[in-house]
């Protein structure tokens, strides 16, 4: 309940347009309403910022269709991550206006218009190897769906440093850099040592043996000797994109 609404209610009480009992009732509920308001505010912010996103791994195709339909009705962007090909086929049959990227298992649709004016720069997504690209693309699709300017620079891992150094200008131009790497996860440290923008490091589960499904890369990134690096969960391209969006939003 806004101050204006409060004043209006109290005016009605004073003028007896509202009984004291009714006012007590309304005000007693105010706590819940305040929370509900916050909720609605929050959702509104989300609609203009980060929309509700469907975590597809543990939902049925039917559940995904239901949520996506609501989102489409609200003219909002649709984003569903970790959707298997089988589920995606069912979803797209019901909602053919959506798109599915099998490599990064993302369903998207009805994206927000590209809005450079809403952000203080662009995000550059860097991947160490070609195997890390699906996670990088999950991040890129998320940012694109949100209307956030985004570029990519893939396959520039530390074992061939010249590949990275050739693109130093692109690194310097980005306002935020998402670095996606598996195996030893060393790329974020190297990049953070070359620039002053914040680096969001995404470990991937690429590797075998002692990579332990991404633990090696995760630990490497958490122990980065370069300042200005923070880390998200293994394979969490979506989370890195949300962090980048939050950093750049004006």
Contact status: 44 vs its own copies (CB under 8 A):
no
Q: Scan residues 69-88 and list those touching its own copies (CB under 8 A).
A: 82
Size of the site for its own copies (CB under 8 A): 102
Q: Which 90-109 positions form the footprint of its own copies (CB under 8 A)?
A: none
| Binding flag, residue 235, its own copies (CB under 8 A) | yes
Q: In the stretch 115-144, what mask flags binding to its own copies with x, by CB under 8 A? A: -----x-------xxxx-------------
* Closest separation in Å from C-beta 30 to its own copies: 6
Buried b (16+ CB within 10 A) or exposed e, 159-182: eeeeebeeeeeebeebbbbbbbbb
Unique residue bearing structure tokens 């308001």: 37
Q: In the complex with its own copies, which residue's Cβ is closer, 110 or 131?
A: 131
Q: Does 245 bind its own copies (CB under 8 A)?
A: yes
From 17, 57, 89, 93, residue interacting with its own copies (rule: CB under 8 A): 57
Nearest alpha carbon to residue 142 among 250, 247, 58, 237? 237
- Residue 230 in the binding site for its own copies (CB under 8 A): yes
Q: Which member of 66, 72, 114, 247 binds its own copies (CB under 8 A)?
A: 247
Per CB under 8 A, the segment of 86-94, 109-117, 147-155, 180-188 that binds its own copies is: 180-188
Minimum distance of its own copies from residue 238's CB (angstroms): 8
243 lines the binding site for its own copies (CB under 8 A)? yes
Closest separation between CB of residue 110 and its own copies, Å? 19
Write out the two tokens for 99: 């798109």
Question: What residues from 140 to 159 belong to the interface with its own copies (CB under 8 A)?
Answer: 157-159
Q: Given candidates 62, 70, 115, 161, which one binds its own copies under the rule CB under 8 A? A: 161
89 is a contact residue toward its own copies (CB under 8 A): no
User: Which lies closer to its own copies via its Cβ, residue 96 or residue 227?
Assistant: 227
């Amino acid at each position: 309940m806004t101050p204006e609404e409060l004043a209006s209610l109290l005016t009605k009480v004073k003028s007896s347009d509202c009984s004291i009992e009714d006012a007590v009732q309304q005000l007693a509920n105010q706590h819940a309403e305040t929370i509900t308001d916050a909720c609605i505010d929050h959702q509104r912010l989300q609609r203009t910022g980060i929309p509700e996103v469907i975590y597809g791994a543990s939902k049925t195709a039917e559940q995904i269709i239901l949520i996506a339909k609501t989102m489409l009705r609200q003219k909002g962007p649709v984003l569903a991550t970790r959707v298997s090909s089988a589920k995606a086929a069912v979803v797209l049959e019901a909602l053919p206006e959506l798109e599915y990227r099998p490599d990064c298992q993302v369903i998207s649709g009805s994206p927000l218009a590209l809005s450079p004016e809403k952000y203080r720069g662009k995000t550059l997504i860097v991947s160490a190897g070609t195997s890390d690209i699906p996670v990088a693309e999950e991040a890129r699709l998320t940012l694109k769906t949100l209307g956030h300017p985004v570029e990519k620079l893939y396959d520039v891992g530390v074992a061939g440093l010249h590949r990275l150094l050739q693109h130093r200008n692109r690194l310097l131009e980005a306002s935020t850099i998402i670095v996606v790497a598996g195996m030893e996860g060393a790329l974020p440290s190297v990049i953070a040592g070359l620039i002053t923008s914040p680096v969001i490091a995404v470990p991937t589960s690429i590797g075998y043996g002692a990579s332990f499904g991404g633990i090696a890369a995760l630990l490497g990134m958490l122990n980065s000797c370069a300042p200005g690096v923070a880390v998200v969960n293994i394979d969490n391209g979506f989370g890195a994109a949300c962090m980048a969006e939050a950093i750049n939003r004006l």
